[in-house]
Chains A and B, each alone.
Chain A
């Protein structure tokens, strides 16, 4: 039981979860109609889906390594693989299923590839599909979010002496409020780091810090109450 380490890991994990959710290209319901750029679902849902995939791999890795960094990186890569496949397949579906070209609605020129965006956009929409800059932002979001989730899992498993199942549920329970805070901050849709809404990030980070700190203290109390790793 190492209270400082537990709180530190939970706070860092929570902040990373919130940051990751801001980086993901969330299109929400409008994206399902090709009316907005990004992945056609809510912030919490896609972040949770990615983090859960990462957590599955991280839990496997934690059975045969004691390294915090390796377990957290396993989770990060797991989440990144998940989000990358989803974004690629969404593009294939938009293109071949609906005849829609991936285009960003927030910038006129792709900041990374310098491809023009505005001429390809359907009028009265906010972009559609997952263009290259959005894809890169999504990759970073998946990596950061997955890293945060796996970090919390490792702290709960090894520092708070929870069993694997309880540590997973605990990490998930701290992850969700942080993703929800990000969702409130995003208010609907966001394309990634190039989106003007990304500038609101500091507000979410402060809130996440407070929430994660409280969660960390709660984990320490729970760990004290169940000394011996019975939880």
Chain B
């Protein structure tokens, strides 16, 4: 079977969709466990006498912890694929259907261990501030956190698997990505964490954590640590937060990663097409394919800069100068 260019583009869109889902769940997982930057406020809250029922798991920076989960899942899936694929010749997808979920389940189990030790360790260290370890908070959050982490790791491992086999799936194995499955998992784990940490956390940190403060202003230093501890009904835990952030912060974060994956793959494929590299993979057209891809990338970058410029001008005009005290 020769290379089918339409299939290449179709798989690229599948990857972008999976990326959207992966980053959405990654952001919600970090909000659910209060992992990233806004966790500084959860830490500070107990220290200034604001005893709370927030889950506090600062395992590490999100990129590193997600890289760990995804590389673990990728490694186990890759080892299982090596063993299982020879058993089903011609139908290798059957091996993937079994190998990927098993690898991801192991990563989710590791996530539970880290979540538990991180929460207990951090909260136990706050004994002098009389912050108790609420057992219902501990038990009640582990499974939702692990489920969100499972979804993230699953989608990332699927992306890595498709990219590893992109050429084979489209008809020419020469187009498979040169990196192995675990390394691709590691790379996208780092990236998904970096995006989840830099984009999605703002909705949790600047809005949901300080919901009883005025809307429409940066959170002042005097507010720090004085987080909103009461929910719409009862005392707030992280389960109230995931539902809120799923309405805006999560999807926006997912869209960020989805757009990045879409732009990156799209410009590479369009460059290959315009440069004459596809469908026969003509070696002489390699340089022109990369040049076209770079030109397409430059156009995307300039377009994004213009959109940001227009957006910032519009929002400043719409909202006007600061009028509070």
Contacts and interface: CB of A to CB of B under 8 A. Distances in A.
Contacts of B260: 53, 81-82, 85-86
B61 interface: yes
Contact of A139 (B217, B268, B301, B324): B301
A44 B194 CA distance: 9
Nearest to A87: B308
Contacts of B252: 89, 92-93, 97
A164 B201 contact: no
Interface string B283-325: 1001101110110011011001101110111011001011011
A15 interface: no
Contact of A100 (B183, B187, B216, B253): B216
Contacts of B178: 59-60, 62-63, 164-165
B134 interface: no
B316 A120 contact: yes
Contacts of A32: 36-38, 201-202, 204-206
A33 B208 CA distance: 10
A107 interface: no
Given A97-B203, A99-B216, A45 B179 contact: no
Interface string A89-125: 1111111111111100000000001010001111111
Interface stretch (B81-89, B94-102, B138-146, B220-228): B220-228
Contacts of A91: 308, 311-312, 315
A169 B204 CA distance: 33
B321 A119 contact: yes
A98 B286 CA distance: 46
B107 to A, nearest CB: 19
- The secondary structure that dominates the A interface is helix
A121 B323 CA distance: 10
A107 to B, nearest CB: 15
Nearest to B221: A124
Interface stretch (A71-79, A192-200, A212-220): A71-79
Interface string A124-152: 11011111100110010000000000000
A98 B62 contact: no
Contact of A124 (B191, B222, B304): B222
Nearest to B256: A89
Interface in B231-264: 248-249, 252-253, 255-256, 259-260, 263-264
A81 B300 contact: yes
Interface residues of A, number: 81
B61 A41 contact: yes
B183 A169 contact: yes
Interface residues of B, number: 86
A42 interface: yes
A49 B199 contact: no
Given A49-B190, A84-B305, A99-B319, A33 B180 contact: no
A86 B195 contact: yes
A40 B316 contact: no
B247 to A, nearest CB: 10
Given A34-B219, A40-B37, A132-B312, A139 B322 contact: no
A136 B308 CA distance: 10
A33 B194 contact: no
Contacts of A82: 191, 260, 264
A14 B293 CA distance: 25
B198 A90 contact: yes
A168 B179 contact: yes
Contacts of A99: 215-217, 319
Interface of A: 28-29, 31-35, 39-42, 44-46, 48-50, 52-53, 55-57, 59-67, 70-71, 73-74, 77-78, 80-82, 84-102, 113, 115, 119-125, 127-132, 135-136, 139, 164-165, 168-169
Given A59-B179, A74-B290, A121-B322, 16 more contacts: A33-B218, A34-B202, A40-B205, A41-B194, A41-B197, A44-B61, A48-B190, A56-B264, A81-B260, A86-B195, A94-B202, A96-B248, A122-B322, A132-B309, A132-B312, A135-B309
5 closest A-B pairs (Cβ-Cβ)? A49-B194, A99-B216, A34-B218, A77-B297, A32-B205
7 contacts: A45-B193, A48-B190, A52-B188, A85-B263, A88-B307, A99-B216, A120-B321
